[in-house]
Structure 1
């Protein structure tokens, strides 16, 4: 009898599965058990048969807040579909653990689960596992980290913009939304299919009294299209509007604690491609330096050099991105008093880009523009942390020189205390674009605003007699020649002959600021050739005027 009891105990110890966490699961091991909550469930349709399910895909969250993907194959869909409900916690036994591969990878885990015919799924009520398993990515990390292309990501931010409904070349409808974080950084998300309808229905409920809107996009994908952006995955994505979760509550609290008022308006993105120009604050650098109103302004400038004396990164708080400093308790304390990192301190810090560049504007006016994580990481394709870790000794990384010599349209922020009261000519960059079309549109808009600000000219002229118009401006041109070295007149001192009036009479030197010449060359590509007279025509007109003046003398 004792022998039989011993045998029963031994058999039980060998066959009774031990509950594991996701990190403890091993491939090719049978009889493993996992206690987890279903935080997302979706269906993949059969190829060319959208009404039939090919697989059920599931995201499982354990007590350690790790997430793993599980797949139910076609033959078992009807068996497990009613037994697995999103939001419910289960004790799952008898599954297969295999390599995480396939066309739709949801998590960075090396393995995924496969339900089998003998898999047992039992509800686990009152489980302490959280309802949601979001793993939110920083906007700067999304832009810089190429590895996020390989799996789904979660994003949270204030919903600040929505675009118009458009169609791709294949006829598929698409709409964009913009999310903004606590640092006023924005990221664009492309919506497809049913997600467009969800946003349209929500927008119908918005009124002038509606407060700030916060959005969570679960199972989004990082893509490269007109820069880095995210998009809703085809089947897995889920959009939450103002969800009751700690991350949104913390974001709302941080925004309310800031000095700037929190805008509740969701703006209409009429043309996302030139959104940086959706303002009348189009100024040159000289005008920005003289302005007396704190606001965001858009200017055209070329990056001339990098300011190396102040470093290229700062140590930031992982909670709110504010600068941190090391205290005597060997913890990094946030400098923002409202942040939990200010009082409690943090064990780790996060290096982030902060690089100051010397820029020159269209009239050779100089200023300093500071670029941050979301700007620099887009081009260098590496985070400041990784770049710093790769250095053998401290230096300015060569990768940061990629901006030098290039021309951009910048949106910069003018601050009341720093720029206006202290008269600093150093500005923080909000956004930037080097798209030739954006540069062309800036030039047009700037010129139009300049023309509107000029006094009205009541003189009239006829197109049939252009010489009259030229002669009317002779006095002004004469004054300009007397006070400038741009035009030099060469004549023979021996004979008094002027020589060839089209060649030796005038030596017209082009002292146009380099950036303006560069912009002119760029505009030749995007402008119609008949919109403006060419430089050759202008020089020819100037020579005719000078010839008339020489003959009078």
Structure 2
């Protein structure tokens, strides 16, 4: 590590592109393009570091960090967008995934670092380095550097929500198009709120969107981009020269910009009230057991027990198909290949009653995650650590609960070989349950709905593949379980350091091959 000291900040400034270790370097004059704090994992109210991207008058960019012990010293001296003359910095090799600049090195603030406010009209205000979309699409693997992309928003998905570790995370997918092609961009968490706020200020037409410091991710051999927590920045129809220049070029390349942004991907899922009170015929458990017609039916019942006839979870590929241990890895029949990272997914059987009749229902991953507010990976890791009983004790907390179940009945799927029924959706809202029971008469709702689309997509058929959840799969890709002799790695590349490892090889070695497969949950979405 080399220290560069310079007491006179009015000397000739060093070019950022020329900064190298092994020689004494002087002061730099830079603009802070991006500035953010990295919260401590165990205590989000504390911060581990202050991170920033710096740019000089020649367009050279470099990453810089302030370690935890020095945050209070420099936090009040630096502002995003400000220009500063800085000296007495350390310089060392840059490393890690998703680097913010192409510079081989990064700067570190020291207790003796001097920061002096300055001004300069020669330094770019935003420091964009746009990458054409066709170049993004040409990637065949995750790119280690963050990129800037600008394009016309030619599509936006319905907003979805996912429950992870007891927290609800929003997600939306947008489609960006430039003169070279189009690509998808997935936004998570606060970035969804940021986009909604900026979209709310628009009048009409397709907006121009710039996504700065985005990461390139691969899924099924297709490249897309998504936000990185804290670092990514989004601009929508911003009054910025670079965006105005792009807008002027649209007409030249024949891209229409005066239409309404179309909805892409799957349609929003109906509300719980609509699904259980308006969409499906109501049946008692006794009626359900003798049904000969196909369809989806709403049933009210009380959970009286957990059925431990088979394991309550199973290992699945990223495509959500079940996998089986094979030659030190796992084999996915859907992808027709061996995989080395699998995701644990719920498959829990409950006995429910409504008076004198009872039946067995099977609840899969999305609904179990919804009612427990925890991922399957959490309970798998917890059960191995506790060395507990046949199922997590949290499951027993559902016994005695009154719920509404939307169950699928068909010649192929209704009875799952043992008389059990697959649950498509669950409602625990007491108000909706009361309305359901007070309506009386177990018959088809008076409101005729259009053909039902399976938004849940918890399909029991091997024909269905999760084609529209690539970004969501990238999100849950961090909840992985490795094959025998390895470990679980629960990690989020976007959310800072978070690594929990436990050996789950024995659990997977004993996993039976499931006959059914499921897909990622899509929760209630409200369209504007």
Bin of the TM-score, shorter chain as denominator length: 0.3 to 0.5
Higher RCO structure, 1 or 2 (CA under 8 Å, sep 6+): 2
Larger C-alpha radius of gyration, 1 or 2? 1
Q: Normalising by the residue count of structure 2, what TM-score does the alignment of the two structures yield?
A: 0.46
Q: Normalising by the residue count of structure 1, what TM-score does the alignment of the two structures yield?
A: 0.44
